[in-house]
Amino acid sequence: MLKPFKKLTFSVSGSTAIEYTLIAALMSIVIIGGVTSLAGSMENMFGLISGDFQTVAKQGTR
């Protein structure tokens, strides 16, 4: 009666899938963290570029 349960406790066939899942989760966390940290600096950079374009456009219409 306990043979099926003993097979489940000593089975290692699912460990590879779990390892790949953990690796994918870690990579997702790293990517999300990187994108989040770059978002503020990218916003500032595009704001500066936008301001420069507006300044040039105002000077060009005179």
Structure confidence by residue, pLDDT tens digits, 21-32: 999 999 999 999
Average pLDDT in the chain: 82
Extract the residue ranges of the chain whose pLDDT is less than 70.
1-2, 4-14, 61-62
> How confident is the model at residue 23, as a pLDDT?
94
Between the alpha carbon of residue 55 and those of residues 43, 44, 52, the distances in Å are 18, 17, 5
In degrees, to the nearest 5, what angle opens at C-alpha 39 toward C-alphas 44 and 57?
Answer: 35
Q: What pTM does this model have? A: 0.51
